[in-house]
Amino acid sequence: MADQSFRGVMKGQTLVVLERPAPLPDGTPVEVMPLGHQAGSPDAVLAAMEAEPHVTLEDVAELQKAIAQGQRPAATINPFPQDTAKPESV
């Protein structure tokens, strides 16, 4: 069993979630080493695509529709309104 390796992902700061069950009882000492992926490398892109959340094309279309429906024109606010009142004399 010392030759086997198990892959998983971190959840929070104290839990590693394995991709497949490991035949290890609770309390078994293990060594976990991060798999290095250079940003933009094919491995990094594949890892990002496999990571949660997984969205469908329908999910993307629904989000884009909701964004479009929620858009409003920018409010026109004049930061320098014309003040017609005359200044008070001192």
Instruction: Judge whether 63 and 56 are in contact, CB under 8 Å.
Output: no
- From CA 34, how far away is CA 9, in angstroms rounded? 9
Q: What six digits make up the tokens of 84?
A: 């017609």
Given this model, what pLDDT does residue 87 score?
Answer: 63
pLDDT of res. 62: 95
pTM of the model: 0.30
- Looking at residue 51, its pLDDT comes to 85
Render pLDDT for 27-86 as a digit per residue (tens, 0 to 9).
777 777 776 777 888 888 888 888 888 889 999 999 999 999 998 888 888 878 776 666
E-state strands within the chain: 8-11, 15-18
